Structure 1
């Protein structure tokens, strides 16, 4: 069984794709644009999201946004990847 789509992200400048808008229109009471802008920690691209609030509680929503920002946006900027604080801490622990 496929996972249900709970949140979609899109570049703020370009706006949501038609498929994202159609997904939102199928349940507009729960699928809401989020007010917050997610910013890539590496290149600064601004990203917005539409979330299905029936599937994500506030904690899950914060986790999904953080995971997207830290994993997906950072991965997209891999040519100029900067280590996270955790990676710096791990690397520092290995240095004699």
Structure 2
């Protein structure tokens, strides 16, 4: 969702990376709409949310925090890079 960080705010709804067409269906969903939809559909909230984890990354580097600030605590990164690096590596292989 674009409101989560600068990288996501600069994504396009459809993006092509090599032979892969990527679609970001939740890109333009606001935080308010997201939370309202959770309530409307009576979807459960992850138990870690109530312990202060508003966003969950890997178990080794996630700490409690507002929004995505608990991910990669003490580092400048905001995305795990799994998909970013995967496509870059395979396009040039």
What TM-score, normalized to structure 1? 0.27
| Structure with higher helix content | 1
The structure whose residues are more often strand, as a share, is 1
